[in-house]
Amino acid sequence: MPAQLTLPPEPRAAGQARQWVRQELTDMSRPDLIDSAVLGVSELVTNALLHVRSEIALQITDNSDGLRVEVYDDSPHLFAGAPNLPSETRPTNPSTVGRGLLIVASVSQDWGIDYDGKRKCVWFQPAAAVARDGDSAAHDVEHRAAESEDTAASSVPGHDLVHVVLIDVPVKLMNYYRVRFRDLRREMTLVALSGEEEGTAAHRLHETAQLLERFRHVGDASNQRINKAVAEGKDRATLDYDLPRVMITAIDEMGQALQAADEFCRERRMLTLAAGPQEKAVRSWYIGQIIEQADGDPPTPWTGDFEVTDPEPLADSPGAGDH
């Protein structure tokens, strides 16, 4: 009989799922699968919390086909903005899915998506051999996925477009700090979903990021080019793309929300620490270039360092030693 657990759509659900999976696999005498199963289920439950907000059901089955972990939610969507999924679907191009599923793919023998007309099931068969650095494995998968993307599709039909040129983009810094942004956004979103402290920086950042999700492919195309430059050993690249003008206000708001998020992190002693001086400088330049060029100003190259100089973690951040 399969092991089953139902969780409410609350921030603590991801932690409860990890503990449950760990205990179940221990009871099944499958310690070889614990690390990959815990990482995979954590990502899937977190994705459901971020995008679906429905009750989440977990199930573990072990039969002749192998052990399988299943995560059910009440949405027919893979992530916000994704199309409806047919039954027994397994995406063949990882570039079309989110980073959470790329991590799942990196620690699985096999995985897929089932949809019965009412709810979605994302399942995976955890692999016994897990890369020591799961995030690095996911990054490798993400990099290969980005290589297959079509960068030409960076504009949105039907919108007034602004052509933006970013000169001497510090690709190593962008690659490094975008991982920190993902971590920050996930943690802030979980705070926002807790229903506490309405109107805080967590809610502001979450709401702004949701507005920008509809134009996600623009950022994906940019990330592909950054990944390629890093893979080729370059420290800089020139990016140019067309942004729908309706994005400009949201991007400006994102910059302000990130500043508020830094203070929030310091005050609340979040797991994601406040940005350091270099990260703030890169963020200010990148967002500033978009805003200024939308107003008709010419592009200005990045003039700072091209290697990461912010310490990790930030030694001067309150609470840095408390986690």
Q: For residue range 37-88, what is the model confidence (pLDDT) as tens digits?
A: 988 898 888 878 777 777 899 999 998 888 999 999 887 655 443 434 343 4
Can you give the pLDDT at residue 282?
A: 95
Does 323 map to a domain? no
The alpha-helical segments, DSSP class H, found in 110-234 are 134-147, 171-193, 201-212, 216-231
Structure tokens at 82: 């994704």
pTM: 0.54
Q: In which band, very low, low, confident or very high, does the pLDDT at 147 lie, cut at 50, 70 and 90? A: very low
* Domain end point (choices 121, 146, 171): 146
| Residues 55 and 140 grouped into a single domain | yes
Q: Which domain holds residue 256?
A: 150-294
Peptide bond preceding 86 in cis form (omega within 30 of 0):
no
Task: Indicate whether 166 and 243 sit together in one domain.
Answer: yes
Q: What integer pLDDT is reported at residue 137 of this predicted model?
A: 44
3-class secondary structure, 283 = helix
Whole-number Cα distances in Å, 228 to 104, 127, 179, 215, 291: 23, 29, 16, 21, 26
Whether 187 contacts 52, CB under 8 Å: no
The CATH number of the domain holding residue 140 is 3.30.565.10
SS3 8: coil
If asked whether residues 192 and 208 sit together in one domain, one would say yes
What would the pLDDT profile of 246-291 be if each residue is shown by its tens digit?
888 888 888 888 888 888 777 765 666 788 899 999 999 999 999 9
Tokens 């490094």 sit on residue? 176
173 plus 113 within the same structural domain: no
Domain count, the chain: 2
